[in-house]
Amino acid sequence: MSERNPPPSGPAELRAQLDAGLAPFLTVIDRLSAPPLTELRDAAGWTVRDHLTHLAAWADGVAALLRREDRWAVMGVADVTPPSTDLDYDRINAQIAVQQRHRSASEARAWVVAAHGRLVAAVAALSDEQLELPYDRYVAPFTADTGNPVGMSIAGNSFGHYEEHLPWIEAIAASDGRR
């Protein structure tokens, strides 16, 4: 979470930020022309489309987690097993990028919107108390009593994640000499 958008203080604020978090991000995306979306790359070699598929996969993963499904399978990531503290995020992100490069920019944008909708629906199905449970309570065997609230993962894989990627996306767009 950034200083501009600190972690939510509780379930009500989480829901409000989740509801409001997608529109400003899409406003930026919708102003971009084709070259920044699929041709121009950032220092990591990602296009805007790659950023979009990355964001969608992670949002879908947390939505699956909240439904107590295997988030990694939903994300299409192989060979990931808990505990979540031992994850190689660079490897996971590389898998997602390679698997999703077949999508067009419009398909990637639509996936972000759909994944966000699935996450909102998964959050809506939970009580305030469930949103304050530790993240690992949503991972088999579903018994953890300590750790960060799952709400932090929701925020970090939705509105906080969109905000995190905006500077990279804007830098890609700014590198387009035709703008």
pLDDT profile of the chain (179 residues), mean per 10: 56 86 94 86 92 97 95 88 74 93 95 96 91 90 88 93 95 77
Residue 97 and residue 51: Cα distance in Å, rounded? Answer: 8
| Residue-wise burial string across 17-45, b where 16 or more C-beta atoms lie within 10 A, e elsewhere | bbeebbeebeeebeebeebbbbebebeee
> Domains of the chain, with CATH numbers?
11-174 (1.20.120.450)
Question: What confidence score (pLDDT) does residue 82 get?
Answer: 63
Question: What confidence score (pLDDT) does residue 49 get?
Answer: 96
Question: What confidence score (pLDDT) does residue 108 get?
Answer: 96
